[in-house]
Chains A and B, each alone.
Chain A
Amino acid sequence: SQKIEQNSEALNIQEGKTATLTCNYTNYSPAYLQWYRQDPGRGPVFLLLIRENEKEKRKERLKVTFDTTLKQSLFHITASQPADSATYLCALYNQGGKLIFGQGTELSVKP
């Protein structure tokens, strides 16, 4: 079955640095991959979608890459701020048409 794996260890970085989160998937070759943000006690919020023929996608301080050979997506936040502290989830539609999520990586940006 299709699996998505994210680094379950929390990522702690200093304000102003670039945060890089990793998402790996197995047993599937999705055409699209999505990233969401989830704050404590709240539902996930969609951030970005990247297509398999796009190597990179940017939105303000966010950048996502999609390497279909490595079966990996990287999510970068440049010039990070304490307000970026949250859990970030990657997601894809599996072969059954369901949107499935990784377990998320908690990011903490210290001032």
Chain B
Amino acid sequence: NAGVMQNPRHLVRRRGQEARLRCSPMKGHSHVYWYRQLPEEGLKFMVYLQKENIIDESGMPKERFSAEFPKEGPSILRIQQVVRGDSAAYFCASSPVQGPDTEAFFGQGTRLTVV
């Protein structure tokens, strides 16, 4: 059973371009979470999705950011018109169920650099 797969591992975008980050959860996992991590900082929750539904997007900026988890295919975190402040590591996690005693399985992250 492959782990959580994120791609690309590294992404360089110029200011104003779009960034698309992909996350394939572990097989059988229907819950996906996206986090952002800045250097020397902890993981900040962005959005929680369950197949085809956004459950909680309270940590995601209202503008320029969007996320989806279609019935088929990976979850996508999309950042439009990127700015330098978007440079960070973005991690995706998945779980088979949602609950306080559920561990999250993380991917290796996508490191976005905006130049």
Contacts and interface: CB of A to CB of B under 8 A. Distances in A.
Nearest to A96: B56
Chain B: number of interface residues, binned into ranges: 20 to 34
Task: Indicate the member of B41, B45, B100, B105 with the most A CB atoms within 10 Å.
Answer: B100
Contacts, number: 59
A37 to B, nearest CB: 11
Please report whether the interface of chain B is mostly helix, strand, loop or mixed according to DSSP.
loop
B58 interface: yes
Interface of A: 6, 30-32, 34, 41-46, 49, 51, 89, 91-93, 96-104
Given A91-B104, A97-B48, 17 more contacts: A32-B100, A42-B108, A43-B93, A43-B108, A44-B106, A46-B104, A49-B101, A51-B101, A89-B42, A93-B99, A96-B56, A97-B55, A99-B93, A99-B104, A101-B35, A101-B43, A102-B42
